[in-house]
Amino acid sequence: MVLLWIRRDLRCFDNPALMDAVANGCRYALFISTPQQWDLHHEAPIKLDFIRRHLLQLEQQLFELGVKLVHLTSTDFSAQSELLIRFCREHHIHRVLANSEPEFNEQQRDRSLLSSGLDIEFYDCDVIAPRGRVLNQSGEMFKVFTPFKKAWLKHVREFGVECIGRPQGLSKPLSPPARDLIGELNSSSSLINSSSLSTSWPLADEVMEKVIPHFFSAKVCDYKERRDFPAIKGTSGLSPYLAIGALSPRTLYQQLLARYPQLIEDDNHPAFCWLNELIWRDFYKHLLFHYPRLSKQTSFLEKYAKTQWPGTQAEFDAWSKGETGYPLVDAAMRQLVRTGWMHNRLRMVVASFLTKHLLVDWRQGEQFFMSHLIDGDHSANNGGWQWAASTGCDAQPYFRVFNPILQSQKFDPNGDFIRKYLPELNDIPTKYIHFPHDYMAKHGVSDTYWPPVVEHKAARLRAIAFYKG
């Protein structure tokens, strides 16, 4: 008997492990919750709730394929492995099929299972270009994005992108799925609570049917011009679905190319900017594959490995609470804490502020993001934070320090986003909304908003001196 092990692949479309499992007469799929491991990895409650909702959707979809989804609970990966082996023994399962997970702890778990004698096969389905196939002339992983992108494009032109469909169901139907899966998932995941529900995000099936076609037809060609403005919906909003495997990046690539076939040859095409984001995602996934130490909170650039960051806990607390005195930074942090998501431009701004203005260790920011983001993905989160902190692969130069006031003026010119998350500034004229302290001092208002934790010019000079170190 064959068992399908569901992990970070909560979909039926373009799921190679599922396709082979169904083809081999699989009747059971297994999902094993690991609350203790989730806690160690700082998984956000809203993301876990998003997983729960997609598991319930997947349960119904698997039932229609003749596969029963079983949910079990362990603590960490070690206990998860033991539970999987015991389940296989008790149910006379001779082979397990699963999609790969590239992170360090996950890879250790899977290698341990292979060495245990369990007949288990892993598939690659969370990248567009297969890991280990986009290399420089020395046969090594690229350390700069642009040449990686060129090699990536060459690879997909030459070999194409394999994307499988949805498997056909078995001839003998099952009984309707038992609804106790809902209770099991709710009771087993202590990290999920009513304050972190993800219901404002539709399920992936609705996204595939409505959101993606609309984005590709009406928005993707304007993505480059609109993506940096947080007050408007100019991004795709697909990152949470990619993070849990509810959507396939290969499917997105093929659907985009089906609409704009010239895209793969023309990087000046208006829609290429969005494709470039998928390539960046692959870049960080490939980096993690080639440099597993990135999963262990180490700087990619070894010269920063032992850096002692002088930022204080009080400064980190001000940043995390949205109390820095810089409106765009504070509004962005409140968006994150309130909604579980943050606009990508703002992720760069707040990360630069924490690491350059406050000189707080980037790892603290990385962990805070993971503990709040619905789209928390280790490779992208680690890559983004190390990019901002100038410690990573192809990171921004250490002397580049985002000016949060200029960023605010450029990307939220009327203060619409700021006012949404900082209602205490509603009465501040637009001319002063980006840094209201002069206006407040002029009118004798001192308790409306937080004073700035640092002065920008002084903080910039201090950051440059620190990095030169």
At 445, the pLDDT band (50, 70, 90 cuts) reads confident
**377 annotated to a ligand binding site:** yes
The pLDDT of 14-30, averaged and rounded, is: 96
Task: Provide the edge-to-edge strand list for the sheet that holds 68-73.
Answer: 68-73, 28-33, 2-5, 95-99, 120-123
pLDDT at 19 over 50: yes
What's the chain's average pLDDT? 93
Q: Among residues 149, 100, 103, which one has the least CA distance to residue 277?
A: 149
Q: Looking at residue 179, what is its pLDDT?
A: 46
Please write down the long-range contacts of 159-162, taking CB distance under 8 Å and 24 or more positions apart: 159/133, 161/128, 161/129, 161/250, 161/253, 161/254, 162/250
pLDDT at 172 over 60: no
Element (H or E) spanning 71, and its range? strand 68-73
Neighbours of 11 (CB within 10 A): 24
For residue 231, which amino acid is it?
A
List the CATH code of the domain at 2-125: 3.40.50.620
Q: Looking at residue 169, what is its pLDDT?
A: 66
The pLDDT of 172-179, averaged and rounded, is: 50
pLDDT digits (tens, 9 = 90+) for 366-375: 999 999 999 9
**236 annotated to a ligand binding site:** yes
Taking the C-alpha atoms of residue 98 and residue 85, their distance in angstroms, rounded to an integer, is 14
The sign one gets for the Cα dihedral 74, 1, 91, 12 is: positive
**77 annotated to a ligand binding site:** no
**133 annotated to a ligand binding site:** no
Using CB atoms within 10 A of its CB, is residue 17 exposed (0-12), middle (13-18) or buried (19+)?
buried
The pLDDT of 246-259, averaged and rounded, is: 97
274 three-class SS:
helix
152 three-class SS:
helix
Please write down the long-range contacts of 422-431, taking CB distance under 8 Å and 24 or more positions apart: 422/322, 422/327, 422/330, 422/331, 422/334, 422/449, 424/448, 424/449, 425/327, 425/449
pLDDT at 175 over 80: no
CA 464 to chain centre: 30
pLDDT digits (tens, 9 = 90+) for 76-135: 999 999 999 999 999 999 999 999 998 999 999 999 999 999 999 999 999 999 999 999
Number of Cα atoms under 13 Å in the Cβ half of residue 280 = 16
Taking the C-alpha atoms of residue 278 and residue 273, their distance in angstroms, rounded to an integer, is 9
Taking the C-alpha atoms of residue 105 and residue 418, their distance in angstroms, rounded to an integer, is 39
Residues 322/330, Cβ–Cβ less than 8 Å: yes
Neighbours of 57 (CB within 10 A): 17
**160 annotated to a ligand binding site:** no
Q: Looking at residue 396, what is its pLDDT?
A: 87
pLDDT digits (tens, 9 = 90+) for 331-380: 999 999 999 999 999 999 999 999 999 999 999 999 999 999 999 999 99
Residues 321/204, Cβ–Cβ less than 8 Å: no
Domains 2-125 and 126-163+204-290 share a fold: no
Q: Looking at residue 176, what is its pLDDT?
A: 53
Distances (CA, A) of 388 to 49, 125, 181, 349, 392: 29, 28, 41, 8, 8
Fold assignment, 126-163+204-290: 1.25.40
pLDDT at 187 over 60: no
**264 annotated to a ligand binding site:** no
| 454 secondary structure, DSSP code | S
pLDDT digits (tens, 9 = 90+) for 262-295: 999 999 999 999 999 999 999 999 999 999 999 9
DSSP structure string for 283-296: HHHHHHHH-GGGGG
Q: In the numeric block, which tokens belong to residue 413?
A: 């010119």
Question: In degrees rounded to 5, what are phi and psi of residue 392?
Answer: -105, -170
pLDDT digits (tens, 9 = 90+) for 45-68: 999 999 999 999 999 999 999 999
Q: Looking at residue 448, what is its pLDDT?
A: 84
At 168, the pLDDT band (50, 70, 90 cuts) reads confident
The listed CATH number (1.10.579.10, 3.90.1170.20, 3.40.50.12500, 1.10.10.60) that belongs to domain 303-468: 1.10.579.10
pLDDT at 170 over 70: no
Q: Looking at residue 180, what is its pLDDT?
A: 44
Q: In the numeric block, which tokens belong to residue 59?
A: 């349960």
Which residue numbers are catalytic?
Answer: 277, 280, 309, 344, 362, 385
Q: Looking at residue 444, what is its pLDDT?
A: 82
Q: Looking at residue 171, what is its pLDDT?
A: 46
Q: Looking at residue 469, what is its pLDDT?
A: 78
Q: Where are the alpha helices (DSSP H) in 340-469?
A: 344-352, 362-370, 378-389, 404-411, 416-421, 437-442, 456-468
Number of Cα atoms under 13 Å in the Cβ half of residue 22 = 24
Q: In the numeric block, which tokens belong to residue 285?
A: 């996934």
Q: Looking at residue 155, what is its pLDDT?
A: 97
**375 annotated to a ligand binding site:** yes
Taking the C-alpha atoms of residue 197 and residue 468, their distance in angstroms, rounded to an integer, is 44
pLDDT at 194 over 90: no
* Domain residue ranges in the chain: 2-125, 126-163+204-290, 303-468
